[in-house]
Structure 1
């Protein structure tokens, strides 16, 4: 199962990517696939054909793991009339 994450890398804008599995504490790098800006546009500092990028842990500030779409459909949101 792929996880969608928002990566926060030092000195860069956050971007969205997918992880095949969540990183383990012993991993030296995080491998992300399909990196893109939050609005879906390609990252300007990567080649357009890049589909997988390796980031060392010391560059990653933190990452947000997003809920799968099916879980988001089950969330009841509050609204006002």
Structure 2
């Protein structure tokens, strides 16, 4: 599962999880557990919603964040 930041046109960024990254042939992008960057609920989405689907034409770009597993596997150059 990947943590993503979805940048929707004319809206604040939305954080969520994706089971798998979308295929370019898909007509929409689906994220689960949508929330704002500060973990508050997104105002234009019902608070009971767990999965949201956005059409590609409403998405500016998607940031895929490093997973916890990738963080553990990365060599830390800066150690305390």
Q: TM-score, normalized by length of structure 2?
A: 0.88
Structure 2: unaligned runs, 5 residues or longer? none
Does structure 1 residue 62 correspond to structure 2 residue 61? yes
Aligned residues: 79
Alpha-carbon distance between aligned partners in 2 of 1:27 and 1:59, rounded to the nearest angstrom: 13
- Matched residue, 1:34: 33
- Equivalent position SS for 1:72: helix
Sort the Cα spacing of 1:40 and 1:75 in 2 relative to 1 into closer, same or farther, 3 A: farther
Residue by residue over 1:9-68, the C-alpha shift from the partner in whole angstroms, topping out at 9 and shown as x without a partner, is 000011101111110011000011100011111101111100011100000000000010
In 2, the alpha carbon distance for the partners of 1:11 and 1:57 equals: 14
Structure 2 counterpart of 1:76: 76
Normalization by structure 1: what TM-score?
0.87
